[in-house]
Structure formats: C-alpha cells, structure tokens
C-alpha cells in the first residue's frame, strides 16, 4: 500500500510540474500612447500577460479580445491591478485557441494591435 501511495504521489508531482511548465508568459511594454510590440504570433496554449508601464506617467491596463468581437473582452487577460508608472503587473492564466485577437489599453490609450494564435 505504501508503494502505491508513493507511486501516486510521484505521478501527481510530474503531472503538476508538466502543467506548470505549459503556462508561458508574454511580456508587453507600454510607452506613452502605444505598445512597443505591434503584433504578436503565438501557438495555442495557456499564457499569462505581463504588462510593464514604461514611464507613461499614469496607470495603464490591458485588454485582449477576439478580433471578430472587440467588445467581448477576455476578462482573465485583464491585469490583476492597474499598472502604476514604471511598474509591472500580470494577468491571470488565459487559454488561447487558434484565431485572431486584438490587444490594447483604454487607459493609455493605445491603438488596437493584432495577436495571432496559430
């Protein structure tokens, strides 16, 4: 019985570790009125967005939405708190499927940029 429990613990440990490795971070930088990255191409998967505020002078945010319906914001992609001047914040985990998305900041404000998932 102890061997079965030990094997189960090891298998679960590998499963959790593999799951943790599948989450990738996408770092995006905002300056006054724009993102420095104008277009992003990613693979399908789970992502966390890290948004940096590079001397914009006020708080910024992050919005990600399907290109087909820009008003349908992906709420998990919102940063967990507004990004203060010269600081960084992250989003929650976001699962992205194949398609086209837009990202922007209504607080900065920035244009809408394209994010493609292949």
How many Å is the Cα radius of gyration of the chain?
A: 18
State the pLDDT at residue 4. 46
How confident is the model at residue 74, as a pLDDT? 98
| Structural domains of the chain ordered from first start | 39-118 (2.60.40.420)
pLDDT value, residue 2: 53
pLDDT in tens, the chain (118 residues): 555 454 544 445 555 555 556 999 999 999 999 999 999 999 999 999 999 999 999 999 999 999 999 999 999 999 999 999 999 999 999 999 999 999 999 999 999 999 999 9
What pairs with residue 103 in β-bridges? Answer: 64, 113
């Amino acid at each position: 019985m102890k061997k079965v429990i030990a094997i189960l613990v090891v298998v679960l440990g590998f499963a959790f570790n593999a799951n943790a490795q599948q989450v990738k971070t996408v770092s995006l930088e905002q300056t006054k009125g724009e993102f420095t990255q104008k277009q992003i191409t990613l693979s399908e998967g789970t992502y966390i967005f890290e948004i940096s505020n590079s001397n914009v002078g006020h708080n910024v945010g992050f919005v990600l939405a399907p290109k087909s319906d820009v008003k349908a914001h992906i709420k998990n992609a919102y940063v967990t708190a507004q990004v203060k001047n010269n600081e960084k914040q992250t989003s929650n985990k976001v699962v992205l499927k194949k398609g086209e998305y837009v990202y922007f900041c209504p607080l900065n404000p920035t244009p809408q940029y394209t994010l493609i998932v292949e």
